[in-house]
Amino acid sequence: MVTFTDIAPQGDALARHDGDVVFAANGVPGEEAIVVARRSKRHMVGEVVEVLSESPHRIAPRCPHYGKCTGCQWQHIDYPLQLVLKRQMVARQLTKRGSFTDVPVLATLPSPEPWHYRNHARFSVDPQGQLGFVHKQTRDFVPIDCCYLMHSEINSVLALLQGTCAGAHQVAVRYGVNTGERLIQPKLPQIESGQPCYEEEMLGRRFRIASPSFFQVNTPQAERLVGLLRDSLHLDGTELVIDVFAGVGTFAALLAPFTGRVIAIEESASAVKDAAVNTTGLDNIEFLQGKAEKVLPQLQEVPDAAILDPPRVGCHRRVLAALIKLSPRRIVYISCEPATLARDLIVLCEGGYRLVAVHPVDMFPQTYHVECVATLVREEFSPELVLASTSPRRRELLFALGLDFESIAPPEDETMPTDTENVEKVTEHLALQKAESIAKGSGERTVIAADTIVVHDGTIIGKPRDAEEAQQMLHRLRGKDHIVVTGVAILSGGHSYIGHATTTVSMRNYSDEEIAAYIASGEALDKAGAYGIQDPYFRPSGQVDGCYLNVVGLPLCTLAGMLREAGVSLGARPLWMLPPQCQECEVRSEWSGEIA
């Protein structure tokens, strides 16, 4: 029997047994289970055969082939937890491989559709002509009649071809979800196939994609990715942007109308031919064909911004060295492999860049794979905004407003106030003190600060000093109501702006065992009231009356109104890029005019 405590980099649940690390398929963190495993060189590898203590996030897999073909790893985990786990995996790789411990890793951007999202399938074929997939460990062939990740049109092609492709080694099917066009390789007698290319449409623009060329497999989410990229680049229409690993010109074509000029670099001759078609009518794009590590060092012009979207193996060292030498003010690095991303980010940061944020994007639901958008700026460029906090929660929420800012920790002062008669004024005063302490060394920059207090039965509850006090706090709050008040202060242009938000939280009747597990995780010790309302495993609250994000630590609606009053423009973020609680909030009108 083992207890799963985490998720491994390849998507298996992780546990320890008699000193050994155990990786097991079909597990969920927090569960107790019986695992059948075999020993590898460094650890044990196996799968769950019986769940003894089931996670509330466990669901029934939709696909009858789940676990046999191994193309999916997480169909047994509900989608909200999949998003949390991907964020945790990214943060862990940044810490483990890049030593980044204080970089905001934002909440994973969910896919608009967690099923039937793939526009590209590559089926293996057995000697009898059956189409299917190959188990990643045993290499056994698994014939399938339907894949729940593939678009329905691809499944229609699968049904037509199943059992008829003897002699073929693989069959690739690509589908334009916005155009209805198909590309099927190789040439087959049963169906129209052998097309050299097909077309897809993104954000109103048509793209030709040849058979050897890469294109994102999740079209709706790729459109969101472009919006996130544009926002991260902070374009004003005058910049020279270099797009390294440009592919068929997707980013270059869709960003060109918002820039002064784009220089795109791509090695693949097929992709460059596609890009020539895809950028027709855009006279501010120049394509350079060749390996990025050879072309980039030859550039003479100094770009304002750069886009990196390399293969899974990451960037060649000469690419990073050339980019550091060119010294664009801002770099946005898009990666489908967090480990190589972390490795390359170290080099860029050692070369004079500051990692501002990393935003996971779920391009691949039901699997452990995750896309990341990392934003870096040159160290000498200080943003106009300062957040008087290094709290990951507050930094993540502030990024949701589309703002560029520097995070600075205020002087520590854990003296707890005692005035519960006017707790709102107390929190505002504490927030103002934080802002003033940072403003002294920040010149003319705008400073934002916040302070959160938990009050139960007339007593202010702060952060626990140790595990014993955390346990006492959680016992005290169990099954009862309390209020959470966050004071917010802004110092800008010699003026101060203060406000607050108050929320009532009803805690559920969690068990002593749940308290012990939560405290053992280490998550209780840096939080007022000894809990994080957003924790996906503990889930301490039963009901929230008021602003949810106030309990997390920064009420965005309150802050948005105050920033507008202070003359600070918010970023134009689509509503789907905001936290889900904001999308459901009745006072979302605070965003009007700023959020598209």
Q: What is the pLDDT of residues 80-112, one digit of tens each?
A: 999 999 999 999 999 988 888 877 788 899 999
- pLDDT (0 to 100) of residue 575: 63
More confident residue, 519 or 390: 519
Q: Which residues pair with 406 in a beta bridge?
A: 386
- At residue 413, the pLDDT reads 60
User: Which backbone phi and psi does 490 adopt, to 5 degrees?
Assistant: -130, 130
Question: What span, in angstroms and rounded, lies between the C-alpha atoms of 395 and 553?
Answer: 10
Cβ burial of 494 (10 Å; 0-12, 13-18, 19+) is exposed
**pLDDT at 240 (0 to 100):** 97
Q: What is the mean pLDDT of residues 190-215?
A: 96
- pLDDT digit string, tens, across residues 468-517: 999 999 999 999 999 999 999 999 988 999 999 999 999 999 999 899 98
Three-class secondary structure of residue 241 per DSSP: strand
Examine the pLDDT at 376 and tell me if it is beyond 90.
Answer: yes
User: Which stretches does DSSP call E strand in 229-384?
Assistant: 240-244, 261-266, 285-289, 305-308, 330-335, 353-361, 371-378
* Euclidean distance between CA atoms 235 and 214, whole angstroms: 26
More confident residue, 271 or 560: 271
Strand, helix or coil for residue 468: helix
Which tokens is 375 given? 């934003």
Which tokens go with 320? 């990073």
Is residue 336 part of the annotated active site? The answer reads yes
Q: Which of 336, 372, 547, 582 is catalytic?
A: 336
Identify the pLDDT of residue 392: 78
- pLDDT tens digits for 25-44? 999 998 999 999 888 777 88
Q: Tell me the average pLDDT across 246-266.
A: 97
Which letter, b or e, does each residue of 456-485 get, where b requires 16 or more Cβ atoms within 10 Å of its Cβ? Answer: beeebbbbbeeeebbbebbebbbeeebbbb
pTM of the model: 0.85
Which is nearest to 554 in space by CA: 438, 434, 456, 465? 434
- Where do we find the tokens 């390359």? 344
Strands (E), 186-284: 197-202, 205-210, 240-244, 261-266
Band of residue 419 on the pLDDT scale cut at 50, 70, 90 = low
Cα dihedral 60→64→68→74 (10° resolution): -30
Q: What is the 8-class DSSP label of residue 576?
A: G
pLDDT of residue 7 exceeding 50, the answer is: yes
Cβ atoms 144, 65 nearer than 8 A: yes
For the chain, which domains are there? Answer: 1-58 (2.40.50.140), 95-112+214-381 (3.40.50.150), 120-205 (no CATH), 386-591 (3.90.950.10)
- How does pLDDT run across 323-337, given as a tens digit for each residue? 999 999 999 999 999
The stretch 212-239 carries a mean pLDDT of 93
Whether residue 439 has pLDDT greater than 90:
no
SS3 129: coil
Least confidently predicted of 352-356, 377-381, 384-388, 569-573: 569-573
Q: How far apart are CA 394 and CA 124, in angstroms?
A: 47
In 64-124, where does DSSP find H-type helix?
A: 79-98
Tokens representing residue 350 in the block: 């050692």
* Percent above pLDDT 70 for the chain: 95
Residue-wise pLDDT for 578-595, tens only, equals 677 776 676 555 544 443
pLDDT confidence band for 192 (50 / 70 / 90): very high
Tokens encoding 176: 């334009």
The whole-number pLDDT of residue 550 equals 92
